[in-house]
Amino acid sequence: MKAIKFYVFIILALAGLFSCEDVVENVKIPESKEKLVVQCFISPQDTVISVWVSMSVPIYNSNQNPFEGRLLPDAIVTISCDGAFAAIPYNHDASNYQLPASTFPIVAGKEYHLTVTRGSKEVSADCIVPVEPNTSLVVNSVDTAVGEYKDQIWYNVSFTDRVGTRDYYRLAGWKESVYSYCWDSIFWQHDTVIEELYIDNGTLFFSDRQTDGGSFRVKLTGYFDVFNESEISGKKTHICLLTTDRGYYLYHTSVMNFQGDNPFQEPSLVYTNVVDGLGVFAGYNQYSIELDY
């Protein structure tokens, strides 16, 4: 008798569970509106002011390729500082807005204002270019692993943070080579090839929030062609230390932490300082070292 009561109890419990299952329909998903997206980084050392303008892709967009055709060539882009003003025209070859820095020089320590308008949408952002670059960057050693067609080279670099100020940095490096080709034993073609160095250990972005006045050590590496060595000339390696503003650091580190649709990653927001839009307008001041290789 007890067994019968137990089975009856189980059946009723299961029935109760299934009876609680309802199909939810006609859920209204919050509307996600398109926003202007702006990306611009300015520096006293750059020869061109470049601005990328696009439109954000709303959530639940059914487009299979949401980034195709999102860059916008028909916006009005302006930059201003201390009463000076300049319009930045669209460059069709580069697919962005460009202005020679010689016509609107970027000055360290100055605050700049960027405005982008398209139709009824207008966004803006401000940034202050760091006063001076950190010039403590040094190459401590260079290690090489010889290969049959390519050599791998490691650059062990370091720099020291300035004491008493909140500082943000980015390390960058690239190699530059000129390749010469002879066609039909008569015509020579010379191509400049630039290849980025990448991080072998650590990070390329730094903050002195917990290491004020401390030292940072990084290993950069890259591969260098040795095949047809006689056809390669003008071989240079450039390593730069960018002293950046807070927005530059927060934007890039948030992009690195963003995992998109990864269901196992905790959600993270990409930093923006663009009012009424998305993206970043930031400044940096750079110090560079040039090496032969």
Q: What is the dihedral of CA 248, 252, 253, 255, to 10 degrees?
A: 140
Q: Look at residue 69 in the predicted model and tell me its pLDDT.
A: 43
Interval 44-54: pLDDT, tens: 999 999 999 99
Contact at 8 Å (CB) between 263 and 279? no
pLDDT of 173 strictly over 90? yes
pLDDT of 162 strictly over 70? yes
Contact at 8 Å (CB) between 32 and 13? no
> How large a percentage of the chain has pLDDT more than 90?
58
Question: What span, in angstroms and rounded, lies between the C-alpha atoms of 230 and 214?
Answer: 43
Q: Look at residue 66 in the predicted model and tell me its pLDDT.
A: 42
DSSP 103-137: TS---TT-EEEEEEEETTEEEEEEEE--SS-----
Tokens 């929030």 identify what position? 209
> How large a percentage of the chain has pLDDT more than 70?
74
Is the model more confident about 157 or about 29? 157
Q: Name the pLDDT band for 65 (thresholds 50, 70, 90).
A: very low
- Average of per-residue pLDDT across 130-150: 90
In CATH terms, 36-128 corresponds, of 1.10.287, 2.60.40, 3.80.10, 1.20.1740, to: 2.60.40
Question: What span, in angstroms and rounded, lies between the C-alpha atoms of 291 and 263?
Answer: 44
Identity of the highest mean pLDDT range in 9-13, 17-21, 115-119: 115-119
Q: Look at residue 151 in the predicted model and tell me its pLDDT.
A: 80
Q: Name the pLDDT band for 137 (thresholds 50, 70, 90).
A: very high
* 3-state DSSP assignment of residue 99: strand
pLDDT of 253 strictly over 60? yes
Question: What span, in angstroms and rounded, lies between the C-alpha atoms of 137 and 238?
Answer: 12
Question: What span, in angstroms and rounded, lies between the C-alpha atoms of 44 and 52?
Answer: 19
122 C-beta neighbours (distance < 10 Å), count? 15
Q: How does the average pLDDT of the chain come out, rounded?
A: 83
Q: List the domain boundaries for the chain.
A: 36-128, 138-244
Q: Name the pLDDT band for 91 (thresholds 50, 70, 90).
A: very high
Question: What span, in angstroms and rounded, lies between the C-alpha atoms of 143 and 181?
Answer: 29
Question: What span, in angstroms and rounded, lies between the C-alpha atoms of 210 and 127?
Answer: 24
Question: What span, in angstroms and rounded, lies between the C-alpha atoms of 186 and 71?
Answer: 43
